[in-house]
Amino acid sequence: MSHRLQSITTFNLITCRNITSFSKVGLLPFPFKTRVLSCKSSYRTGVEMEKPTSFNALDVVIDEPISLNKKKAAIRNAGPAKLQVIADFDATLTRYWVDGSRGNSSHGLLQQENPEFDLKREELFRYYHPLEFSPTLSIEEKTKLMEEWWEKTHSLLIEGGVTYDAIKKSVASANNIAFREGVVELFEILEEKGVPVLIFSAGLADIIEEVLRQKLHRSFKNVKVVANRMVFDQSGRLTSFKGKTIHVMNKNEHALDMAEPIHDHLGDTDGPPEDTAAVKKRTNVLLLGDHIGDLRMSDGLNYENRISVGFLNDNIENSLDSYKKAYDVLYLHDASMLGVVELATQLCSSEGD
Ligand SMILES: [Mg+2]
């Protein structure tokens, strides 16, 4: 692992001032210009696209390095016992592009017993997905629309039939979902240091857990999933969903409180579960997300220090300005997780940078 990290042990950075001024006059330096991607995403099959693969210094943007260094020092001084990681799942832990196509989400990879219902869910995606990113809708309007979308999708899942076996098979046959390089190393370091990882998603918890099991080939006792959780009957058929629906507009609200009932049975864990109160005592946060809204995942927590790491995967020229202001560290072009591995190592170290 160490040799792979060598090239990024120093956080090389390009200032946003440079990027935005270059972009305004159309003089983005190589390789930045050639790596700006834009595409219409596809719900299931994706579309063939250029796929960025390598890690590059230009893929990291740190807008306020002094502020970041202060936060790093404060978190390191407090020690791993005060730290927790809150991470989004789709396009944050997983890659945005897989073999040149848009990667699947936890919702998107599921194949129902009746394939007509897959098409119905895809129709909903085509209608609601552009509204999710509409710059003209108010938060209230968008929240109502997202609630509608999630409720309709969940109803279709129940109506069209889903079994736990179908989930396992869907994940096993899904070759369009993959973790970013470095996710396993990140989980290993955090597990070793006893730092909990809360994966907080508007996707489907049962599928995310199955993806973790099948794609990582091991379990981590420190990793917990908070997402929409299915209820199955005795024959293994989906009958309902537990608790409040988590969608993209409310995954900010009291994240840890919504997590509470789930902390009793955390996947394949064999260690003692850390309850909500204990997690709330961990007042330093490393937050990972790919959406501006992901920054609110820590809203239920009265944190002292938070380092936010964002992945800006697509539509980079239009979103760079808002993302670089919002996130302490910003990775562009579907970057690997190796920079976060290095950051987590520094945060959990007592020896300084
Ligand atoms: Mg995401």
Q: For 183-209, how does the pLDDT look when each residue is reduced to its tens digit (9 = 90+)? A: 999 999 999 999 999 999 999 999 999
Bridge partners of 232, per DSSP, are: 238
Which residues are tagged catalytic?
Answer: 88, 90
Q: Give whichever of 67-71, 114-118, 255-259 has the largest mean pLDDT.
A: 67-71
Mean of the per-residue pLDDT values for the chain?
A: 80
Q: In angstroms, rounded to a whole number, what is the distance separating the alpha carbons of residues 171 and 184?
A: 18
pLDDT level of residue 40 (50, 70, 90 thresholds): very low
Domain boundaries, the chain: 2-102+172-347
**What's the pLDDT at 258?**
62
pLDDT digits 0-9 by tens, 4-27: 333 333 333 333 333 333 333 222
Distance between Cα 287 and ligand 1 center (Å): 12
Distance between Cα 234 and ligand 1 center (Å): 32
Distance between Cα 307 and ligand 1 center (Å): 17
Distances (CA, A) of 261 to 112, 212, 229, 287, 339: 27, 20, 11, 22, 33
Look at 156 and 350; give whichever has higher pLDDT: 156
Contact 169, 129 (CB under 8 A): no
Give residue for tokens 């009291």: 254
Distance between Cα 189 and ligand 1 center (Å): 23
Instruction: Return residues with CB closer than 5 A to ligand 1 (ion).
Output: 88, 90-92, 290
CATH 3.40.50.1000 is the classification of domain 2-102+172-347: yes
Q: In angstroms, rounded to a whole number, what is the distance separating the alpha carbons of residues 250 and 69?
A: 31
Is residue 66 over pLDDT 70?
yes
Is residue 30 over pLDDT 90?
no
Is residue 297 over pLDDT 50?
yes
Distance between Cα 202 and ligand 1 center (Å): 8
Give residue for tokens 């700006």: 36
Average pLDDT over residues 51-61: 63
